[in-house]
Structure formats: structure tokens, C-alpha cells
Structure 1
Amino acid sequence: MSFACPWCGEHNELPLDPGEFGQQVVMDCAVCCRPIEIDLPADGEGQPAIRGEGQ
């Protein structure tokens, strides 16, 4: 899955693991290194909610 960083706007890649559906994942932006929270949908359908930590 590709998405834009909420902090700097650069594109990042998140490999989707079906075991993570319904959970929140935190990863650092590959460019600006700021934390990004990603809420994955429980059923694997739809778009994940992406936000900067503390936003």
C-alpha cells in the first residue's frame, strides 16, 4: 500500500499483513522520520486511516 506522509507529503510504502487487519500500526516516514499512525480496517476492505502522531 502506498500513501502520503501526513507531515511532509512524501510517498511511503506499507506492506500489508493480513494478520494486522483491525490493528493500529505505527511506522516512521522513510523521508522525514516522523511517526505515522495507521488504523487498518478490520476486514481488510476500504482505506486505512492515516494520521501523524499527535495531529
Structure 2
Amino acid sequence: MSLTVASKFECPYCMTYNDLEIDEANDINQQQIVDCQICCQPIEIQIIDNGFGIEVIAKRDDE
């Protein structure tokens, strides 16, 4: 049994989709900096539970 949930988010720089593994027990309501898997730019992601499921909000690091 896997403890993570597969998710995707769109890179705010190059607009490609990136894969992300989310640990529901530890990652909800956390902020992280990850690098885009394509263009390698730093992306600030926030993982929230919006009541309907897990949502990943991706922003440029310089916003």
C-alpha cells in the first residue's frame, strides 16, 4: 500500500506538467520549493485540502 498520492501541476514558467508525489499525512498545508522537471526553474508550490480533494498551487519563485 502506497502512502503517497500521485498528482500533477503546471509549471508557471514553461507551462508543462510536472509529476508530484504527495504524502497526505505530512504535505497538506505545506509550502515547498521544487525545480521544474523540464526547464529547471524553481517553483513555489503549496499543497492544500480544499474540501473536495488535494489542490496544488504553483507560483513562480519571484512572485
Q: TM-score normalised to the size of structure 2? A: 0.74
Q: Where is the strand percentage greater, Structure 1 or Structure 2?
A: 2
Kindly name which structure, 1 or 2, has the bigger radius of gyration based on alpha carbons: 2
Q: Where is the helix percentage greater, Structure 1 or Structure 2?
A: 1
Residues paired across the two proteins, number: 55
- The sequence identity of aligned pairs, in percent, is 33
Query: Please, which of 15, 32, 43 is the counterpart of residue 9 of structure 1?
Result: 15
Distance 2:50 2:15 in 1: 27
Structure 2's unaligned 5+ residue stretches are 1-6
Structure 1's unaligned 5+ residue stretches are none
Q: TM-score normalised to the size of structure 1? A: 0.82
